[in-house]
Structure 1
Amino acid sequence: MQPIRVLKAVMVAATAAVIGWAVLFIVRNYAGSGRCAGGACPTGSGARTGLAFLFAAVGVLGLFGAVNWAIGKGCWPKRQVWGVLAPAGLLAGLLPGWLLYDGLTGGRLDLQWSAARDRPDTAEALGNWSVGSTLVQARGNGLTAYAARDGAQRWQRPAPAGESVCAMSDRTSGGTGLVAFGGYLKPCDTVALVNLSTGQPVWQQKTDGDPAVIKAADARIALADGTAVVAENGAVRGLAAGDGAERWKRTEAEGCRVAAVGASAARALVVDRCGTDAFRLSSLDARTGEESWNSALPSGKEVHVLSAEPAVVVVDGKALPFDGRGHGRAAIPLALPRDYIGFAARPVTRAVITGDVLVTAVTPDWNPAPRSVGAYALSDGHQVWTQHFDDEVSALALRPDGRLAVLTRDGGGDGTIRPLDVRTGQSAGGIEPLTGEDSLIGPWSVELFPDPHGYVIANRSLTGDYPPALGARR
């Protein structure tokens, strides 16, 4: 075969392959792994769109030029050009085109499951625990456990008759979680330690509930390793996790009431409200109740324990970290959820603590929806870094690999995970849009739970138009 005939055959096949790439890119952009869901596009979408148009223009013009050259005098017959060379080139180019497309396409999270919408739509999802491969969600009427992989309901525990969930610990320990129940306009006084594998109580008992607290309120109970810490009427008690027996009791000073409690593995933090709006923070040994230090807090209306180790307390939207001797170190502003309802396992979902750094959503004065994330040193409150996004920041979480996962939400309820380096705030990988269904991420309070293969996302508060929980995997 003459070299010129071989060259012409190669040109026809190559330009036909380019047309095949154009078709492949266009189809996959709109119906495959590269499609955008409600504006959430995987990394590389701009390059793929541009290449689709480039391949189409170059391929059409190049193919007709190559065909005219190939069927010139003494060369390939027209039937062989259109019937053999062009189709062969198109088919041969599909695999390279597919690999090129995948190489340009970043990660994507595909919806695997979503829990049924709450009915009536006034139902409230109050708080969540993530334990191994299980998500436990608290609503007013009880606890429900979902398998993180497929959303299958593992167990359900209703609240006692005539009562509803009114408090839950912010942490779990040894596969158990602490939850409290109370009647309508009655104290939150029934406390149970629940086995989160089965939903069965390890123990359940009545406590001396504070009659001044007659609505759902977090921060009334906490769980250390081996000890349940319960705020009561004029006292705080430490109960043995094994059987609920009293280990220690701390009586409040005259004129003071317990405003909040929190716990780490070995420490219990107690916030007392003395008078109208004066607070005092005390650090106790969770096993014995012995006080190691106490410190005055600024006056305020709302107080929550963000972390017991290191000690960080939130007063009226500002995080106040303390060192190991109870000395205040800084005041860091937080972006609180817009539907702040004063009850949840995590009262602040858009803040995480890693090492000696607090990472939180940042809200400009002119915009109630945070669109930035900032990291602050707990030592003195100085800003270490900040990162801005076009969409609203809905939740933050630390991934198993140490990176920070930022869940952003657009106006239509579509979410995108954006991994950041916790040390610098710089992007630490391609974005991962959540695809498969519209209106997944609610505009209110959201919690994010990463695992090595994807995420479980829980919507809190009024979830009627959004699933209470959903799972997405890579």
Structure 2
Amino acid sequence: MKSRLVRSLLSGNTLLALLGGATALLAAEYVYLAFDTLTFDDNAACGSDAQIGCPSGGWTTALLAVLFGIVAIASFSILAARLRTPRDGVGAGWPHSRWTRLTAGVLGAALAYSPGYSAFLELRGPVPVQPMAASWSVTANDPPSVGTSAAWPNGSTVVRVRQDGFAAAYRTADGTQAWSATAPERTMVCAAADQPAAGIGLLGYQRTGGTCTTVVAIDLTTGHTLWQHEDPSANWSDIDTIALTDGLAVLRTPAGVQALDPRTGQPRWLHPSDSGCAPTAVAADANQVAAVEYCADPKNDELGRAALVTLAPQDGTQRWQSALPTETPLDTVGFVSVDPLVLAVDEHDTRGTHALLSFTADGKSLATIPTTAPSTVIATLPSTDSHGLGSAAVYPVVVAGNTVICEAATPDDDVAHDLVGYSRTDGHQLWARQLNGDLAGLTETDGGPMAIEYFEVPPGKGGTVKYYAETERVDPVTGAASTQTVYTKAAESGQGWFGAVGGRYVLVNASGTATAGLPAVLAFPVR
């Protein structure tokens, strides 16, 4: 009895049933998958550069479905013929072994399903991701040469300020406009505080043909101008020239660091600079005001020294000063973080300091992270024409605990495709990871650091270029990604603004021109 069962299982008929069941299942599976691939909705987010790419391998899958079908038909035809023609008792045993053949066919189908689907995924490429649709969006109506100068959250609204001085607040619940305001005639926005405070935003204005000599405070609840401060000797058009925190507006002036009352504009205190010195960048939070001061060499204007100083926000008293490792003028300097203190320095000297510098709370130098290397270039600060985009701005660098997370590119590529994490305490590289798309930048949210990538997909069935954004949370310790979400019509190259406001994620594009086909502001459900 036992030997008869073994012979039955190993017989050609059983193997034919096994083969027939497997190929029949594969044929049916590949017919469905080929149809699904070849009729894929081109309106979904896909593209050759994205992991969420358009499906491929459709015709190969269809051909394999036909071949599997032929093999299945042939296997079952041969099996049926053999069972109708008894040979050496094989056919005669059919009534007693039909359950063996049936079981073999079902087993073959079951065994073939998983590897068949895995093989299909290899043929097809990345699995498509349907992008999240916007809950609402603001129609792109910007003039061609005008983009976003500032974007600030305020309660359940988000405020966008254009470079031409037009400002509007949008309710995050439905996108309706709460208020709008315009700058004086022939006035452009030339500076913006990185973050709002107590419902106030700080802007710099300049008239056509003039310099950035005016600072105004905007009530973000009404859009009204609270006060205006003029200084003909100042120029606030650079990065980190004005800052705002609860109870204090801080300005970089030729005389020193000036503090004003944020609601009235009345002077609070002035920290004067030494003769031949002037602040080049300022930043502030509730606990301290920080500034970089540069002192030119009186005998050689191509040489000079720079220092980082911190001041008490109550009265401007200097707490400490730390010399920076520079000897020539600073082409670019700005604050990546105030608490903890991380500074980006780009010295004029080609062989000078081009690095991120971190400090302890009492001013001791911690780490130097070079931003240029033979194979990697690290972006440190947003460009001057797209800075001041709010407290959740998309920037090239964020600090998360003891990790400095940077976007990186190769020297011959002006778009970053990599993330690199460095230790804030000693500067060594912790991890590096390549991204799916082009990196727009990084932002710090309540849930941790988040990378914003963008995809520009060539025209498909609709005949127009499509834009998508993908966000992914980044583990600062390992660099691993989680909670990836794709958003439709929501991204472009360049820094923008992204953050959670009023129970939604809000994205403000750096440009919202009609020619780009992108809304200026979009809101999405929080997942």
Asked if Structure 1 and Structure 2 have the same fold, meaning a TM-score greater than 0.5 normalized by the shorter chain, the answer is: yes
Aligned partner (choices 327, 335, 338) of residue 379 of structure 2: 335
445, 448, 454: which one pairs with 2:498? 448
Q: Counterpart of 1:259?
A: 280
Distance change in 2, residues 1:326/1:142 (3 Å): farther
Tell me the residue number matched to 1:80: none
Distance in 2, matches of 1:43 and 1:453, equals 27
1:191 partner letter: V
Structure 1 range deviating more: 266-275 or 116-125:
116-125
1:166 aligns with 2:187: no
- Output one character per residue of 1:384-439: Cα deviation in whole Å (capped at 9) or x when no partner: 1111125321111234433533424457554333333222012324x43333x4xx
- Do residues 434 (structure 1) and 487 (structure 2) align? yes
Write the distance in 1 (CA, Å) between the matches of 2:309 and 2:512.
31
Structure 2 distance, partners of 1:167, 1:224, is 16
Seen in structure 2, the aligned counterparts of structure 1 residues 296 and 302 have a Cα distance that, compared at 3 Å, is same
Shift of 1:373: 0.5
Give SS of 2:40's match: helix
1:239 match: 260
Counterpart code for 1:128: A
Corresponding residue SS for 2:36? helix
Residue equivalent to 2:322: 295
Query: CA contact under 8 A between 1:16 and 1:59: conserved in structure 2?
Result: yes
Q: Note if contact 1:111-1:471 (Cα within 8 Å) is conserved in structure 2.
A: no
- Is the 8 Å Cα contact of residues 148 and 456 (structure 1) preserved in structure 2? no
Looking at structure 2, the residues matched to 391 and 294 of structure 1 have their Cα atoms a distance apart, in angstroms, of 42
Q: State the Cα distance separating 1:305 from its structure 2 match.
A: 1.9
SS at match of 1:367: coil
Aligned counterpart for 1:207 among listed residues 213, 221, 229: 229
Contact 2:382 2:396 (C-alpha < 8 Å) held by counterparts: no
The answer to whether the 8 Å contact 1:123/1:463 transfers is: no
Q: Which residue of 1 aligns with 2:294?
A: 273
User: Does the 8 Å CA contact 1:22/1:51 hold for their aligned counterparts?
Assistant: no
- Find the aligned partners of 1:273 and 1:240 in 2 and give their Cα distance: 26
Correspondence for 2:214 among 172, 175, 189: 189
**Cα displacement (A) at 1:216:** 3.0
In structure 2, the residue matched to 1:87 is none
Q: 2:516 aligns with which of 436, 461, 465?
A: 465
1:340 and 1:170 map into 2 onto residues whose CA distance is 12
Alpha-carbon shift at residue 233 of structure 1 (Å): 4.0
The amino acid across from 1:357 in the alignment is: T
3-state DSSP of counterpart to 1:25: helix
CA offsets 1:100-155 (integer angstroms, 9 cap, x no match) = x9xx9786433424433354311132232234543322222232223445543332
CA 271–51 in structure 1, closer or farther in 2 if over 3 Å, else same: same
Relative to 1, partners in 2 of residues 1:22 and 1:209: Cα closer, same or farther, differing over 3 Å?
Answer: same
> Do residues 344 (structure 1) and 388 (structure 2) align?
yes
Q: Give the Cα–Cα distance (whole angstroms) in 1 for the partners of residues 268 and 191 of structure 2.
A: 21
Corresponding residue to 1:36 among 34, 46, 60 = 46
Unaligned 5+ segments in structure 2 are 1-21, 82-120, 347-353, 372-377, 459-466
Aligned residue among 342, 357, 365 for 1:320 = 357
Change (3 A) 1:384 1:130: farther
**Secondary structure of the corresponding residue to residue 280 of structure 1:** strand
Output the amino acid matched with 1:231. Answer: R
For the residue of structure 2 that corresponds to 1:387, the secondary structure is strand
Contact preservation (8 Å) 1:41, 1:433:
no
| Larger of the two Rg values belongs to structure | 2
State the alpha-carbon separation in 2 of the partners of residues 427 and 28 from structure 1: 31
Tell me the secondary structure at the aligned position of residue 412 of structure 2: coil
TM-score by length of 2: 0.68
Q: Counterparts of 1:66 and 1:31 in 2: how far apart (Å)?
A: 39
Which residue does the alignment assign to 1:116?
139
Give the whole-Å Cα distance in 2 for the aligned partners of 1:472 and 1:53.
38
Moved more, 352-361 or 272-281: 272-281
TM-score scaled by structure 1? 0.74
Task: Give the aligned partner of residue 92 of structure 2.
Answer: none
Aligned to 2:516, the other structure's residue is in SS state coil
Letter in 1 for 2:41: Y
* TM-align CA RMSD: 4.2
C-alpha displacement of 1:28: 7.2
Shift of 1:208: 4.6
Whether the 8 Å CA contact 1:109–1:454 is kept in 2: the answer is no
Task: Check the 8 A contact 2:454/2:469 in 1, yes or no.
Answer: yes
Q: Which runs of 5+ in 1 are unaligned?
A: 1-10, 73-100
Within the candidate set 161, 166, 174, 1:142 is matched to 166
Give the letter for the 1:335 counterpart: A
